[in-house]
Structure formats: structure tokens, C-alpha cells
């Protein structure tokens, strides 16, 4: 049989071990709460909302006009614009044009007019043969028109067109290169 002195010592050891484990648990919890989860990027004071991995769709009636995807978006309330990073703007197929996708490093979306200014490694194409590249591009929603004043390289199958400035209708797919136009047709390449 256990003596009362031994029982007291066992109880004292159990109480000390419980107290130490409780203190360690509390310290770990406080340490985790005091550490910031991750550093947030520095934002302008006018940025009211920041989002990651966004998808925005624009429709007119029951017809989808375009889909906009971005890795990040910062809404600037003072200018009513949204700054986007790593964007993809997709215009669905129409009766006269294949689906067209524009990609860029950055974009500025005008929330009121629904216009988009793309910049940095702008590439557009239909996923098949048609593709063009430029440094900056604008999409005017009211006119369904993609424009640039910068140099462009437009390739569609065997045809390669280089020039300065372009207008492209997102409804019909008709494109007009505006200045300093040169065209090359590669023989033997099928359209």
C-alpha cells in the first residue's frame, strides 16, 4: 500500500507537470498571435479594396461580352479605377470571329466606362493561327474596339503584318493597321 507521503509527492509531480504544459501551451498561442501572418504589400492610401484571383464577366442582356481574369486587383475609389495584374481578357466567339484572348502584365479598368488599358507584354490571339503583339492596348467598351498607337506585329497563318497603330473590332474581328505597314506572306504555309 502507498504511504500518504508518496501520494502527496505523486500529486505534486502531476500538478507541476500540468502547470508546465499549460504554461507552454499559453506561450505558444501568444507567440503565434503576435507574429503577423504574412507581410502585406504596401498600398496607396486611396486603395479601398484588394483582391486575389478575380474573374469578372460583362454581359449585355443575356449575351456575354467578355470575361476578365486577373491574379490581383486593387480598387482605387478616388479615381474609380481598378489596377489589375497578370490579366486575361476573353471575348467569346461570335458569328464572324473566333474566341479572342488578350493577355498582359498590367491593366487599368475604368469602372464607370468599362474600358480597359492593357500594358506590358500584350499578346492577343484566337488560339489557332491569328496572333498579335504590342506594348500597350486599349479596349473601348462602348465601341467594342481594341486600339493601340504602338508598334504591332500581327500574324495570321502565312501572313505577317508589321506597323504602327491598329484598330480591331471585337464584334466582327476586322483589323486595320494604321501606319508604316509592311506585310510578308510566307510561301508554302497553309492558312
Domain 47-185 -> CATH class: mainly beta
| Cα–Cα distances in angstroms (integers) from residue 51 to residues 41, 62, 79, 104, 126, in the given order | 12, 27, 17, 18, 28
Phi, psi angles (nearest 5°) of residue 82:
-120, 125
> Nearest-CA neighbor of 80 among 118, 52, 110, 55?
110
Q: Identify which has the larger pLDDT, 181 or 129.
A: 181
User: What residue ranges do the domains of the chain occupy?
Assistant: 47-185
> Nearest-CA neighbor of 156 among 173, 135, 178?
173
Whether the pLDDT of residue 91 is over 80: the answer is yes
| Cα–Cα distances in angstroms (integers) from residue 182 to residues 129, 152, 159, 170, in the given order | 19, 11, 11, 23
Whether the pLDDT of residue 45 is over 70: the answer is no
Report field, pTM of the whole predicted structure over 0.75: no
Cell (9 digits) for 104: 498582359
pLDDT digits (tens, 9 = 90+) for 153-179: 988 888 889 999 999 888 888 888 999
Amino acid at each position: 500500500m502507498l504511504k500518504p507521503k508518496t501520494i502527496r509527492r505523486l500529486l505534486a509531480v502531476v500538478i507541476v507537470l500540468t502547470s508546465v504544459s499549460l504554461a507552454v501551451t499559453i506561450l505558444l498561442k501568444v507567440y503565434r498571435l503576435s507574429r503577423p501572418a504574412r507581410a502585406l504589400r504596401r498600398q496607396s492610401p486611396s486603395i479601398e479594396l484588394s483582391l486575389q484571383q478575380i474573374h469578372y464577366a460583362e454581359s449585355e442582356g443575356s449575351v456575354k461580352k467578355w470575361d476578365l481574369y486577373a491574379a490581383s486587383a486593387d480598387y482605387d475609389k478616388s479615381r474609380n479605377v481598378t489596377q489589375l495584374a497578370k490579366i486575361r481578357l476573353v471575348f467569346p466567339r461570335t458569328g464572324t470571329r473566333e474566341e479572342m484572348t488578350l493577355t498582359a502584365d498590367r491593366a487599368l479598368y475604368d469602372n464607370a466606362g468599362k474600358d480597359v488599358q492593357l500594358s506590358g507584354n500584350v499578346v492577343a490571339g484566337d488560339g489557332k493561327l491569328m496572333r498579335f503583339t504590342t506594348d500597350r492596348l486599349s479596349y473601348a467598351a462602348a465601341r467594342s474596339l481594341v486600339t493601340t498607337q504602338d508598334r504591332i506585329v500581327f500574324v495570321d497563318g502565312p501572313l505577317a503584318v508589321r506597323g504602327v497603330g491598329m484598330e480591331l473590332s471585337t464584334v466582327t474581328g476586322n483589323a486595320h493597321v494604321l501606319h508604316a505597314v509592311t506585310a510578308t506572306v510566307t510561301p508554302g504555309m497553309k492558312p
